[in-house]
Amino acid sequence: MLSTPLSTPPTPPRAADELAAMLTDARERSLALMHDTLEARELGPRLAIVNPPLWELGHLGFFHDHFALRGLFGLPDYQLADAERLFDSSSIAHDDRWSLPLPSREQTLDYLSRVQQAMLERLPDGEASPAQSYVYQLTTLHEDMHGEAFLYTRQTLGDPAPDLGTPPHGDFGATSGTPDGEAPAGALPGDVAIPGGRHLLGSDESIPFRFDNEKPPMEIDVAPFSIAKTPVTNAEFAAFVDDGGYARRELWSEAGWHWCQHQERQAPLYWRRDVNGRWEERRFDRWLPLAPHQPAVHVSWFEAEAWCRWAGRRLPSEAEWEVAASREPSPDGTALAPGKRRFPWGNTPPESRLANLDAWRLAPLDVAALPGGDSAFGCRQMLGNVWEWTASPFGPFPGFEPELYRDYSAPWFQEGRYVLRGGAWATRGRLIHNGYRNFFTPERRDMLAGFRTCALRER
């Protein structure tokens, strides 16, 4: 069962109208992603990597209901009969979600509407309290995470690309995967050298909202390293495939080889060859020529590990990834300057010229695109485009304490998951920053995951 402690973590207060706008925007996006799916199939296939659409929609309403209306405001009853028994993800086994006596689509949508209206009515004029600011951000960002999952579920099931309406500034090509007027950018090969030094890994109080697994930040020593300017591209991964990478036992760990053999695949999940032997990639319900300079995506940790062994490279630790994304060089370039950036380009919020986020493009861009978003060391697209696997197992930082949503992190520390950093094209810009940690098991490749590599250390 979801837990609701009496207090919330210290959080800077936010303007109430900002919280209302976030809440409303997240719901509009959820409905835009789900309406045609619900019309086609309210439950859908029973797969380990997806939820029934109707259940997942109801779960969103329950999460707001539980933590805000019940936990924050003390309303005695849920806004839907049996909501806890039907939609509590912590107590309902995944396989059971298809056999629950769920309310109708109309009843579920009405539940979401009533919960949202009650939350909006309880916001004050002016500035919200720290507790309200925390809970409203927690529940909205939780909905944003499900929004990204809705998108890669559509990919899993081969549904058409969604219609997300008009982008806020009209500067995205919503169906082409490329902004209007933006030519393919190509590749950006090579590494950048990062000096070593002390680093505060995680998120400190300068971040407006932090999840529990990002804190408390810890001081660590990071040795000098060299990291690629961009993620591995489709062309680079295709060279591994064409060299028999999926059939060469020496390139895979024992667990990776077992997974590879079980999958019986010789290429990434959504790749196939056309009648002329050229690679194609499925994007939602369409097969398209493989874009050589876009990042390899839908790649498991096992596949990333094998590619690295083939190429004589390695995955970065999450500390190395964060240093490359957030730190600046000293004036002479031999050390790390004090301080951290919230985003690779600085401390200003994301926008379309800096990062491919918020799903308006509905696809990755070439890895050389968006140079304005470079980190201080010259790494490109460290936020957006594709999530990037790291070599680091997902675990707590020393002093970790679970917070309001107690099942967000703690249950998964011993599950053999690995940390991903940086967000993808479907990730909401209000969610992602240099310290945000995602985490999945190494066989998963339905998510929008790719990888960036480091040079091997000299011995």
> Is 339 exposed, middle or buried, given 0-12, 13-18 or 19+ CB atoms closer than 10 A?
exposed
List phi, psi (to 5°) of 194.
-115, 120
What is 168-459's CATH topology? paralog of FGE (formylglycine-generating enzyme) (3.90.1580)
- pLDDT value of residue 2: 63
* Number of neighbouring beta carbons within 10 Å of residue 93: 7
Q: How far apart are CA 282 and CA 286, in angstroms?
A: 6
**Crossing angle of the two packed helices 130-157 and 53-64, in degrees rounded to 10:** 170
- pLDDT value of residue 168: 73
Q: Which two tokens stand for residue 198?
A: 């002390």
Per-residue pLDDT reduced to its tens digit, 34-52: 988 888 788 889 999 999 9
- pLDDT value of residue 133: 97
Residues 104-130, mean pLDDT to the nearest whole number:
96
Which pLDDT band holds residue 342 (cuts at 50, 70, 90)?
very high
Per-residue pLDDT reduced to its tens digit, 133-150: 999 999 999 999 999 999
Predicted confidence (pLDDT) at residue 170 exceeds the cutoff of 60: no
Q: How far apart are CA 369 and CA 185, in angstroms?
A: 5
Distances (CA, A) of 184 to 178, 230, 296, 382: 8, 15, 16, 19
In terms of Cα–Cα distance, which of 100, 15, 26 is closest to 61? 26
How does DSSP assign 181-204, residue by residue?
Answer: TPPP------EEEE--EEEEES--
- pLDDT value of residue 165: 85
Residues of the chain above pLDDT 90, percent: 88
Q: Measure the N-to-C terminal CA separation of the chain; round to a whole number of Å.
A: 50
Confirm if 423 and 432 have CB atoms less than 8 A apart: yes
Confirm if 379 and 192 have CB atoms less than 8 A apart: yes
Return the sign of the alpha-carbon dihedral for residues 91, 93, 94, 95: negative
Mean pLDDT score of the chain? 93
CATH 3.90.1580.10 in the chain, residues?
Answer: 168-459
Residues 379-399, mean pLDDT to the nearest whole number:
98
- pLDDT value of residue 180: 44
What is the helix (H) or strand (E) element at residue 24, kind and residue range?
A: helix 16-40
Residues 158-185, mean pLDDT to the nearest whole number:
66
Per-residue pLDDT reduced to its tens digit, 276-299: 999 999 999 999 999 999 999 999
Confirm if 216 and 401 have CB atoms less than 8 A apart: no
How does DSSP assign 169-185, residue by residue?
Answer: SS-S-TTTSS-TTPPP-
Picking from 6-10, 40-44, 288-292, 367-371, which range would have the lowest pLDDT averaged per residue? 6-10
Q: How far apart are CA 433 and CA 349, in angstroms?
A: 9
- pLDDT value of residue 167: 80
CATH 1.20.120 in the chain, residues?
Answer: 16-157
Q: Which two tokens stand for residue 231?
A: 């993620």
Confirm if 87 and 2 have CB atoms less than 8 A apart: no
- pLDDT value of residue 151: 96
- pLDDT value of residue 7: 64
Q: How far apart are CA 121 and CA 21, in angstroms?
A: 13
| CATH dotted code for 16-157 | 1.20.120
Predicted confidence (pLDDT) at residue 175 exceeds the cutoff of 50: no
Which pLDDT band holds residue 457 (cuts at 50, 70, 90)?
confident
Q: How far apart are CA 195 and CA 429, in angstroms?
A: 29
- pLDDT value of residue 144: 98
- pLDDT value of residue 8: 74
3-state DSSP call for residue 240?
Answer: helix
In terms of Cα–Cα distance, which of 92, 79, 149 is closest to 118? 79
Buried b (16+ CB within 10 A) or exposed e, 28-61: ebbebbbbebbeeebbbeeeeebbbbbbbbbbbb
Per-residue pLDDT reduced to its tens digit, 187-234: 999 999 999 999 999 999 999 999 999 999 999 999 999 999 999 999
In terms of Cα–Cα distance, which of 167, 146, 196 is closest to 26? 146
Residues 159-170, mean pLDDT to the nearest whole number:
83
Residues of the chain above pLDDT 70, percent: 95
